[in-house]
Amino acid sequence: MLINLAPGSPIEQKLQAIRFGAGAAGGGGGASSVGGRGDTAVNEEVIEALKKQYGFDKPMHVRYVIWLKNISRLDFGESFTYQEPVIDVIKSKLPVSLTFGLFTLFITYMVCIPLGVRKAIKAGEGFDKATTLLLNFTYAIPPLILGIALIYFAGRTNWFPLGGLQSDDYESMSSWGRFLDRAHHMILPLICYTIGGFTELSTLMRNSMLDIIKSDFVRTARAKGLAEKVVVYKHALRNALIPIATGLGGFLGVFLAGSLIIEQMFNLDGMGLLGYQSVLARDYNVIMGITFISAMLMMVGRILSDVIYVLIDPRIDFK
């Protein structure tokens, strides 16, 4: 409902295309006059035809009820911009963001958990200080600047592709060749995606681990004569993971949203770009479809977190 209140609507997007030429829809400043008849504002007949075309001839609350009925069958309607069902538009973009999201998640957790543990064990030592410094530096790098730098780097060295998901001759490659090609194309964007994410998670892991190490049951475990490795990885780590698990579910929704900047820079056709372009074009059906799916994924993510809680700490249950 709220998005209907923003100025502009798909009808106005189409009217602009007529008045200003097709290039102005998302832009600002420059515009061009129509090359056609050169008459005045688009006449009422055309406006009414456009309204009917998009279903805007019905009041907002009726449209909402229709929308609810439709989404119960996973029918989000048709994209005004793509002339395609919304579910198909999202389906074509989701794999891109999903792939990067999952890899980012995997890399981030696989690096940060061991790093956090090690930082906790060596708290206050040189390793801890050096890595903290490094992580704060990477945290401060904007993805935009890093992206530009990486593109110039790739342009000069020829070690990495400049963007896109795959090479042009992808279809003619062997399975292994395709895998390598995709992986090669993903490296630079993944660096941009992951660079800022290490800091928070590592710090959280480190602090969580420190708290656990100082607790009574760890002291008891040591008193029993258990090896340090067993104390750290069998007893302490498991408990320290509880706060880490809290955020895991949320990542699911966040990474699936993609990143507009990284997608635009590396020419990836994912959800971030789709969301942005849909908002600019006032493509309501796509916006609502994305919002709905994101909300669902967020909920699934939370449930997943709860399940992980139980696995980590059997004392927790949700009876």
Partner 1 sequence: MNMKALLLLILSSALTAPAFATAPNASAPQGGNFVINLGGEPPTVHPITSTDTYASAVQAYVCEGLLTRDSDTYEWKARLAEKWEVSKDNKVFTFHLNKNAVFHDGKPVTAEDVKFSFDAIFNPTYEAAHLRPYYEGLAKVEIVDPHTVKFYAKDSYFKNFESAAGLTIIPKHIYSDVAKSKRMNRELVCSGPYKMMKFDRGQMIQLKKFDKWHSNAAPAYKGTYNFDTITMRFFKDENATLVRAEKGELDYIDLRIESFMKKTTGPAWGKVIIKHKVANDAPKSFGFVGWNQRKELFQDKNVRFALAHLLNRDEMNKKFRYGMSDLANGAVYIRSEYNPGNKVVEYNPKKAQELLTKSGWADADKNGVLEKTVNGKKMEFKFSLIYANKDVEKYWTMYREDLKKAGIDMELKYLEWNSFLKLVDDGNFDAVTMGWGGGSVDPDPKQIWHSSSAIPGGSNFIAYKNPEVDKLIEDARVEPNKAKRVAMLKKVYAKIAEDAPYAFLFNDKYEFYANSSRMGMPAETFKYEVGKDYWWVKP
Q: Return residues touching partner 1 (CB under 8 A).
A: 6-8, 12, 14-23, 25-43, 46, 49-50, 52-53, 79, 81-84, 92, 96, 148, 151-152, 154-155, 162-166, 168, 264-269, 273, 280, 282
Minimum separation from the CB atom of position 39 to partner 1 (A): 6
Minimum separation from the CB atom of position 191 to partner 1 (A): 15
Of 6 and 296, the one with the shorter C-beta distance to partner 1 is 6
Of 134 and 149, the one with the shorter C-beta distance to partner 1 is 149
Of 114 and 155, the one with the shorter C-beta distance to partner 1 is 155
**Residues 6 or more apart from 28 whose CB is under 8 A from it?**
none
Alpha helices, H only, the chain:
2-5, 10-20, 44-54, 60-71, 86-121, 126-140, 143-157, 175-194, 198-213, 216-223, 228-230, 237-256, 260-265, 271-280, 284-312
CB 236 within 8 A of CB 210: no
Of 264 and 294, the one with the shorter C-beta distance to partner 1 is 264
Minimum separation from the CB atom of position 287 to partner 1 (A): 14
CB 163 within 8 A of CB 265: yes
What would the two tokens of residue 90 be? Answer: 């999202």
What would the two tokens of residue 233 be? Answer: 């990885």
Of 138 and 267, the one with the shorter C-beta distance to partner 1 is 267
What would the two tokens of residue 213 be? Answer: 């190490």
Of 105 and 188, the one with the shorter C-beta distance to partner 1 is 188
* Rounded Cα distance, 25 and 23, in Å: 6
Minimum separation from the CB atom of position 264 to partner 1 (A): 5
Minimum separation from the CB atom of position 305 to partner 1 (A): 32
Give CB contacts under 8 A, 24+ apart, made by 237-240: 237/117, 237/209, 238/312, 238/313, 239/212, 239/312, 239/313, 240/117, 240/120, 240/205, 240/208, 240/209, 240/211, 240/212
Minimum separation from the CB atom of position 74 to partner 1 (A): 18
